[in-house]
Amino acid sequence: MNSVGRQIISDHVSPQLFAAKMPQLPLITSDALNWPDVTVQHYTLSRGRFAVPPATHWRLGMHMGGPLKVEASYGDRHHAQRWMEHGHFNFIPATTDAHWEFLGKPDLLLVHLSMELLNQTLAEICPLDPSRVSMPGHLAASDNTVIQLSRLLFAEAHSENTGTRLFADGLARALSVHLLRHYSSLAEVRDEGAPVRLTGRTGRVIDFIRTNFADDLSLDQLSEVGGISSSTFGRAFRAATGLTPHRYLIKVRVEAACDLLERTRLPITDIGMRCGFGQPSHFSTMFRQTIGMTPREYRLARCT
């Protein structure tokens, strides 16, 4: 069994050291974004056999190419050869060594989830000792929810949009909840219970967002202000406001930009930066999606 709370040994490799041990370096990595609990890497590898060392993170590898034959062994367990189709994924527990052999050219999206994130998520959704919850490896599994969440993390990994950390936090936690509920021994005893609501704390969270909207806010920050767990905050916030935390943050930023476009002669690029949009193209896209016109068109319509 591979328990979620299994101890990390000093020679277990981080996602960054893992990349250095791969046959080729990743084409895309989220390292520069400094996401605390999830790392995303995209590899295009040559066919062949290679070892995967024990790691500090749980690793989900999704194949993004055509049909591919793979043989893998995790620790002492041997898995028969399987065909991987586009979207199929392998799941390797942290601290477990593995060997992969690909007959074909794998196009792999690797999502590394920290043990701390999985333990924290487990504590929030079920009051069990993490060492009592096991989550074995999986080979060539298929799951639409895993596919969608992994692809969204991949898109954020090479996005230049400000606010990506808040969105990535939510995606990583959602993926952790899903994996624990459906791929661990927790699936046999889970009880979702009644939904958690923000109730009167919604105003406190909204005030915090409106005061700090230009910052790179995280889900942990907002859930702490709301006084509920990070894994349930997004659902509770949406139930209270009708929007996800990320969409609400964009809404507040666009409202602030509208005010500056009307009241000042600041360049549009400067306004976007002041309102938390790191790139002019992202500012223009989000503004148009929210208001129905570009920042320039809005200024001309309001100030003429």
The per-residue pLDDT for range 209-255, each reduced to its tens digit, is 988 999 988 888 898 888 888 777 888 888 778 788 998 899 999 99
Asked if 176 and 46 sit in the same domain, the reply is yes
Instruction: Give residue 247's Cα distance to chain centre.
Output: 16
Asked if 110 and 150 sit in the same domain, the reply is yes
**Structural domain boundaries enclosing 38:** 15-188
Asked if 49 and 96 sit in the same domain, the reply is yes
Residues 6+ apart with CB under 8 A from 211: none
Cβ(60)–Cβ(34) under 8 Å?
Answer: no
Q: Does 8 map to a domain? A: no
Q: How confident is the model at residue 113 (pLDDT cuts 50, 70, 90)?
A: very high
Cβ(141)–Cβ(89) under 8 Å?
Answer: yes
Q: Which residue has the higher pLDDT, 216 or 301?
A: 216
* Span 38-42, average pLDDT: 95
Asked if 204 and 94 sit in the same domain, the reply is no
Structure tokens at 79: 């898995």
Backbone angles phi, psi at 6, to 5 degrees: -60, 145
- What is the tens place of the pLDDT at every residue in 148-197? 999 999 999 888 676 678 889 999 999 999 998 888 877 555 444 445 56
Q: Does 273 map to a domain? A: yes
| Other Cβ atoms within 10 Å of 1 Cβ, number | 11
Q: Does 43 map to a domain? A: yes
Asked if 21 and 130 sit in the same domain, the reply is yes
Asked if 113 and 148 sit in the same domain, the reply is yes
DSSP state of 261: H
Q: Does 86 map to a domain? A: yes
Structure tokens at 54: 């024990």
Asked if 144 and 178 sit in the same domain, the reply is yes
Asked if 81 and 227 sit in the same domain, the reply is no
Asked if 262 and 208 sit in the same domain, the reply is no
**16-to-7, 9, 97, 248, 294 alpha-carbon distances in Å:** 20, 16, 16, 33, 40
| Other Cβ atoms within 10 Å of 227 Cβ, number | 12
Total domain count, the chain:
3
Q: Does 131 map to a domain? A: yes
